[in-house]
Amino acid sequence: MATPFDTWSLDREIVLVKVLNHRRDKVFAAWMDPGALAEWYGPAGLKIESYEADIREGGLWRFDMVGLFEGKEQRFPNLMRFLEIVPNERIVMDYGTPDPNDPDRFRTTVTFDEQADGKTVLTMRQLHPTRQRRQVVIGFGAVEYGLQTLDGLAAWLDG
């Protein structure tokens, strides 16, 4: 059965890029270590509570993003299913909620391009199921939150 992810479409894609001052193998390792991932992943001001982390092809990471909003704790359940992992090159995952029928699940591809100066260009591409869903996530801040996540990775690597 065909899925929305079988074809690429610019009007469904969000692309985030960050140059990191670290070698590709170190940047990639930060994605592969469940403890590290829970420390740096997510938008500023939210913490990660990890419930299950099996980071390998066919594995999954189930976690909540937790934060205070108007003085009240809110939880945002997340699930990443790892489809492809090519060491130091690429991670492909489906990302959504733990609901197995989540209609808003999107495909994420993260690539790691090592530069001659030892830096790494990390590119994160999100492919959403519809153009309308892409617009909704842009509207609630997905681009800014994604960039904050990559800033968190940079700070974790620098620390």
Domain containing residue 117:
11-158
Specify the CATH number for the domain of residue 89: 3.30.530.20
Q: How far apart are CA 51 and CA 67, in angstroms?
A: 17
Model confidence pLDDT, tens digit, residues 144-154? 999 999 999 99
Model confidence pLDDT, tens digit, residues 25-78? 999 999 999 999 999 999 999 999 999 999 999 999 999 999 998 899 999 999
More confidently predicted of 9 and 107:
107
Q: Is residue 29 part of a domain?
A: yes
Give the pLDDT band (50/70/90) at residue 1: low
pTM more than 0.85: yes
- Count the alpha carbons within 13 Å of 59 in the hemisphere toward its beta carbon: 11
Q: Is residue 41 part of a domain?
A: yes
Q: Is residue 64 part of a domain?
A: yes
User: How much is the pLDDT for 67?
Assistant: 94
Q: Is residue 120 part of a domain?
A: yes
State how many domains the chain has: 1
User: How much is the pLDDT for 48?
Assistant: 97
Q: How far apart are CA 120 and CA 138, in angstroms?
A: 26
Q: Is residue 1 part of a domain?
A: no
Give the pLDDT band (50/70/90) at residue 94: very high
Find the mean pLDDT for residues 126-144.
Answer: 95
Tell whether the model's pLDDT for residue 98 goes beyond 80: yes
Q: Whats the size of the chain, residue-wise?
A: 159
Q: Is residue 5 part of a domain?
A: no
Return the amino acid letter for 141.
Answer: G
Give the pLDDT band (50/70/90) at residue 2: low
Question: In Å, what is the CA distance from 50 to each residue of 5, 61, 127?
Answer: 27, 8, 24
pLDDT above 90: percentage of residues in the chain: 92
